[in-house]
Homo-oligomer: A and B are copies of this chain.
Amino acid sequence: MTKRIAILGASGYTGAELVRLIATHPEFRIVALTGERKAGQPMGAVFPFLRHLDLPDLCRIEEVDFAQVDLAFCALPHATSQAVIKDLPRDLKIVDLSADFRLRDPAAYAHWYGQPHAAPELQAEAVYGLTEFYRDDIRTARLVAGTGCNAATGQYILRPLIEAGCIDLDRIILDLKCGVSGAGRSLKENLLHAELSEGTQAYAVGGTHRHLGEFDQEFSAIAGRDVHIQFTPHLLPMNRGILATAWLDGDARRIHAVLKDRYCAESFLHVLPFGTTPSTHDVRGSNFVHIGVVGDRIPGRALVVGVLDNLCKGSSGQAVQNANLMLGLPETTGLMGAPVFP
């Protein structure tokens, strides 16, 4: 039976990407779209690329009849999400795409987000949404917290290696390159085409990026000790895509074997032949992750490169994948679309 879907916060990029994916999802039907500032407008006015679809107009959250909704995606801004979800029906299945429920520890949340959490009880209930590692919990979860897009990319590379104990935990460097859609539809000078195209720069330098909170939480839990990685993202003149370059101390062949073994049964995760690395072009617009491993000329040093599409596998695609699980559908339903190239 077709599942009735609501998208709260449909006027941003992750909301639009959800609509794009659900447009050809055989089991989902969108019954409500909300957008506070754009309430009353048709979705095609806010995102003309969706004008061919038969969609409900944007409305306010309080106008949604949640009794007629099987699952709600919550694509609201960080900090807004917790206040809204707190007041939703207690039996509504929710996939949250914001940062609000990624960190389980209220103190960690307060540290990285600069304010106390408004719904700590939900924080405890939420399941971390990195599907391939929390699959069983997600299946039975009521509230799933989508991961950060950078955090997802880094974890796909590093989790199996930390678990296998095959890299030096005190020497993990993640140099990340990401497209601009990760910054959302924000009106900032540095996101203008005139200022972003044809150049690149680092940002959130010095270990200040919030996704470090997720890395710390997850990696320390796996390792059974504190793990603090070094991580700096760079903004690139492209719209979609994250490429993470991990500089590691460890045996490259062993690293490759661990990743290959761990992901061989996964539909969306592909480990390339040893010595080759992927491009973000290989996954643009899709739910796939490609990972490559190379040995450095210095023995015992390895390079691992992972790529995904930040809006899809890094956010909305992951969300649909989790929703599939929560609603008893095959995990890949509606998500096997090939990347778009060129």
Q: Chain A: residues with CB nearer than 8 A to chain B?
A: 13, 16, 19-20, 23-24, 47-53, 173, 175, 177, 179-181, 185, 187-189, 191-202, 205-208, 212, 228, 230, 232, 234, 236-241, 243, 245, 247, 270, 272, 275, 277-286, 288, 290, 294-298, 301, 303, 305, 311, 336-342
Contacts and interface: CB of A to CB of B under 8 A. Distances in A.
A208 B298 CA distance: 11
A194 B282 contact: no
Contacts of A237: 193, 197, 236-238
A199 B49 CA distance: 12
B342 A13 contact: yes
Most chain B CB inside 10 Å of its own CB: which residue of A52, A270, A305:
A52
B52 A200 contact: no
B51 A290 contact: yes
25 contacts: A20-B338, A23-B338, A50-B338, A175-B247, A181-B342, A197-B237, A197-B238, A198-B281, A198-B284, A199-B238, A199-B241, A200-B280, A201-B278, A202-B245, A202-B277, A202-B303, A206-B294, A206-B303, A212-B297, A228-B297, A236-B236, A236-B237, A247-B247, A285-B285, A285-B340
Given A193-B239, A285-B285, 8 more contacts: A51-B272, A181-B342, A194-B342, A197-B238, A198-B284, A234-B243, A284-B340, A340-B340
B53 A338 contact: yes
A54 to B, nearest CB: 12
Contacts of A49: 281-284, 286, 338-341
Count identical subunits in the complex: 4
A243 B198 contact: no
A339 to B, nearest CB: 4
Which of A195, A198, A201, A290 has the most chain B CB atoms inside 10 A of its CB? A198
Contacts of A173: 173, 247
B187 A188 contact: yes
A337 to B, nearest CB: 6
A49 B288 CA distance: 10
A338 B24 contact: yes
